[in-house]
Each structure stands twice: as C-alpha cells, then as structure tokens.
Structure 1
Amino acid sequence: AAQAGRLLQLPKVAAKVLVADPKVASYQVPGPGSVFVFAEGAGTTTLYALDAQDQVIAAIRVIADYDLDALSKQIAAEVPGSKVEFGPSSGKGLIVRGTVRTPQQARQVINAVEAYLGSPSSSPNGGGGGGGSDGPRVVNQLKVELSAQVNLSVRIVEVSRSLTSELGLNWEATLKNGNYFFRSSGGLFDATTGLFSGGSAINAVAGGFHRYGSTTVGGLLTALSEDGLATVLAEPNLTAMSGETAGFAAGGEVPIVIITNNNVTIEYKQYGVIMRMTPTLLSPNRISLHVAPEVSDLSDEGAVMLEGNVIPAFKVRRADTTVELASGQSFALAGMLRSNINQQVTGVPGLRSIPGIGRLFETHKGNQEDTELVIIATANVVEPTTPSALQTPGRGIRALDAQLPSQASAGYLY
C-alpha cells in the first residue's frame, strides 16, 4: 500500500540499487544482503539490485495502491454521518463521491483525502485544476444534503452621538441585553418597565424622546430614525452560497491619478457603504458568518496635490469580524465614531476688512457633530422557491389580474 514499506532479502550483496520511478517507490539499504522498499505513492515501478560487476541480481516489481479502507475509517471517525466512496482518477489521484450533511463536512472530507495523498488542492465537481501535474489530484464529487444558501439582512445606521448622550442612551447595555436605556427630563428610562426613574410614563415626556418600538435594537433604531436622531445609510439584503462571498456597494467611485515614470494611469476608488459577507453553514441551523462592513466619505483633510491634480483623502470606518449564530438570530456592531467640526466666520461688512482691527468685527462659531455607526444584521438559512410562490407587485387586484396572462413575467410591474 502507498505510504507503507517492506524489507526484502537479496540473493547476493548488492553494490547498486536502482528504481525506475522514484515517485512510486524509494529504498534504503540497511545491510549488505537486504533492501527496504518504501511506497511513496500509488503506481507501478521496478527496482533493480546490481552486484559489483553490474549484473542484475534481483528485479522486483513494486505495485503500490492507496489503503482506501484505512482512509474510509479515518473519515468516518472524523466526519460522522458522511457516506464516502473513492474511485480512481487520472494523474494517480482519487475521485471522492458520496454524501455529507453540510459544506463544512465536505471540506473536512476533502482535507483528509488531500492530507493522505499529499495533494495541495482539489478539483471540485471534476472541473478546474488539481494538485499540479506532478502530484495526485482530488476530484470532489460530494453531494451536500443541506441547503447551502444564507441570507443576510443588514441595517447600517448612523446615530447622532451628541443627542443620544443627552438622552443617556447606553449602547453597551443595548447591544448586550436587548433592552435600551436613555435619560431625558423625566430621568432614566428602562425599556423593560416602560417608566422613567421618576415614575413618569413614556408618553408624558415633554421635549424628550417620546416614541419607541419594541425592546429590540432594531425597534430602537427605527424610533431614533423617526425622531431624526439617526440616519439609515443602507439596508442591503444579501444571499450567498456557503463558503462564497457576497458584496454590496452604495456610493460612488472617485478617480485617482497615478503617475509612474511619466506614465499616467487612473484608478477608481470606491467610497460610500460597502459590505462583504462570507457565510459557512455549520449545521442545519448554525451559521458561521464573516462580515466586513465599511463606510467611507471623501475628505479635504489629508488631500494631496500632485502636478495640479488633487488626490482626495477618505474618512473610513471599517469592521472585520466573524460570528457564529443560529438561523434567524441577529448581531450588532457599534463603537465606530466620527467627529465633524464646522466653523463659521461672520462679521460686519466692510469693517471686518480693515487691516489690524478687522478681527474685532468678526464672530466665530464652531459646531462639532459626533456620530456613531451602528450595524445590525440577521442571518437566515434559505432555500430556493418556485416562481408561483413569489408575489409580483400589484397581484391580487382582480381588475388588473384579469387583463394579464396567468403567468406574467416576474419582472413585469404594474
């Protein structure tokens, strides 16, 4: 078997030992009349032992096969519930067939086979490249029983930090416990009781925060948005196969001039709200999710001038995290702050232009606006549906339905 060895006795003392294909077998000479043959990989080759006169004293045919029984037992122990079979492939590789429950189990099976063969990569579904022209190739023909699509619903909100600080809003408590607290003229409000510390009901607050949704973070952000304390930047809805990456971008692209050795090239840099997510299905109801949101704006601060061209700077707030949650659960990110300082200079026309004393007739006003980025995402395991299960906008109105064919195009809006 491949990766196994055997000690052979020779009829005479060997002066030389030759192997036709070193990739299939190698050898060591532990003593004058013996040779140890080690199977490097699957295949067939011949080993020759020569005496001092270069006469052949032994010609040994070496046939090495993979120990598939041992490999099957190893996979059954490492990946319970999998049903895997192996078949020969070109390039001394293996075709892996069978069924597994999740994409993660499929990856575990392929990793185990690659480790056994010493192959650095696999070919999915019989296509693509393999482990190279010199190494064995693993052809992945495994079938995954579970749905491998994950939908991520995201809400990216920019919250006025100065106003929420006045209300006593505690984001740490909000994101940790699901309840939210804020301070107003009536005292400290607790969402679990609906009362302020002074005993006032929420609708009795004058000039303060007078509206709230449910005791969830999403309901809180909706209430903040309705009262002008928050701005919804984007609400992307992404769906991706397990192990694949989905992306979303809302904003624009700015040209960046790059001059190298008198050659001018233009590259476009994205800015705005950018979102990328990579889900991995761990079980029928468990998701590992890698999320990388980014919110950026153009800024004059830090911009540079290059041969008459202005290269803008960017203010970026970025997060990169991996979470594990059940299907239907949500998670939230906060703490990405931004501070904008605006200054306005006003003065008496004419007098403010007098040299030396003009500044006495000027008024300087400064305004600092602090905002915080809050991101809430909900992940769900989803399955494809039929066109009949999708409702076209306007469907259900009999007067309109009678004028259309029974199977209207999904893109036909009326």
Structure 2
Amino acid sequence: MKGFWVRMAAVALSLTGVSAISGHPAAAADRFIDVSSPSLHRVFVPVSQSVTIQVNSTLGDIVVGDEKIADAQPMTDKTLYIIGKSLGTTTVNLFSEDKRSLGAIQIEVGQDVSDMAVAIRQVAPQARIEIGSINGKVRLSGHVKDAATLASIVEVTQQYGPDAIINAVTIDDSEQVNLSVRILEAKRNAGRDLGVSFRSTNSSGTTKVGTGIAAVDKDDVVLGPGTLLSGLLSNASPFGALLTRVIDSNVKVDLYIEALESKGLVRLLAEPNLTTVSGETASFNAGGEVPIRSVNSQGE
C-alpha cells in the first residue's frame, strides 16, 4: 500500500513537471478560419466584447482597416484576438512573416443580441422573433400576434440600440382601420359669411361663439347691437384655421360642414372611404387631369 502512494506521488510530480515545462495552454479559439479558402470570411463581434480566431497559417502582420471599429492583436503565431470598439464593419488583413497576403476577415461589430433576446422573451414569450445584426443595426424578424406585442418588443429593443433598429416583424392578426375622408373646396372667408355658426360651453362656464373673439360669460352672450358680428367680421380667420378651432372646441364638425354646404359656402369634391391595415399607408387620387387624345383635320 505504501508503494502505491509512492507511485501516485511520482505520477503527480511528473505531471507537474510537464505543466511547468509546457506553460499555460492557449485558450480555445471561438472560431477556426481556413485563410487559404477563397470565400469571404465574416465574423460578428459584439460591441465592447472580444473573440479569438484561429487560422491555419503562421501569422506575420495584422492590419485593421478601421481601428475605430475594431482592434486585432496576435495571441500566438496562429491565433488573433479581436475587440469590437464601435458599431460598424471593417476588414482585418492577414499577412505572413514574408509579407505575403494570407487573406482577409470581415469584422462586423454590432449589439449583443443575447441579452436582448432574453429581455424580449420575457415581455413576449409566445412571439417568434429572430434577432440579427446588419451593418451595426439590430434587425428584428419573425411573427407576433398583434400590434401591442410588437410595440412592447420594439420598446425593449430600443433600450439596446434606439437609433439602430430594422423592423421586419409580421403581425399575424393585423387590425384593419377604416377612414372616412372629405375633400372640401371652401372660400377663405366662409366662416365670416356664415356668421354665428356654432356655440360651445367649456368646463369653466364660458361660451365661445364664432371664431377670433374672446370667450364671453354664458349669461351675457347677447351684447350690444352689432358687437358680436363685428367681432366676427373684423377677426375672420381663414377656413382652415376656423375648422381647426371647431375641432379643438369639441363641436361636431359634420354639423358645421353641413351648415356651410347648405349656405353654398363649401363644395364637397370627394368623400373616399379608405381601408388599410394598422401601421400601413393608405392613399387615394382625387381631381387632377385625364389626357384625352384628339385628332385634327390633318389626322394628327
């Protein structure tokens, strides 16, 4: 039994001696690249983080295209250490000891999407979202159930890169939006010609009559002869500004427009109904000119 422990101690000493002679083993590389391959080698590096790359040729010089984006340092004769500094893309050119070009590695520095994926999974566990990086920008793709879920995902993503998001997410249950649009042609002084056209009482108990005049007390709406109308005539606003004030005062716009139409002060040009999906653009054409071909007496 004593001889067994002696042999074990000898083995331990032997292993210690080997370790002392060989030194610390090199850290395992994150990626291996065959620089003799003609294909373009791409490596993604999270900003403010690093990766190690092992190649199959002995390295001499390492030249970084843009040192503001990334930095590269040799670790061994076949391993290099790359640090991501800022968002963007650059190239690391590799040369042998005799200055012969070995190849190039395209380095893309982007946001660390691993933490982002965890955060998105917490707010939208049922969403099927893929997170990638394109030219330093975060790209979201996949499918979500509704617009509210997508808004939550975008809000989380903006915490990591507020100005660098490409949203390619599809909403499965898209909400349709129906818009009723009226295109009117009105005189500039339509509000003045209509006279006292509306009256509304706000929460403070004052009443606004017409436009362009100060609010008056609701118990004293009728002033001296001509006082109210003179205010309307002297302070008449353009029709666009008048309609805006009508909307702001919570007066029903339909009633006001119908009153203008009955007086012949506005003309309805078009009344399209638009249906679109929430988040998408809808458009229509109204008016314009339609070319009509005509032939003269000479056949031209």
More helix by share: 2
Q: Give TM-score, length-normalised by structure 1.
A: 0.31
More strand by share: 1
Which of the two has higher C-alpha Rg?
Answer: 2
With the length of structure 2 as denominator, give the TM-score of the two structures: 0.40
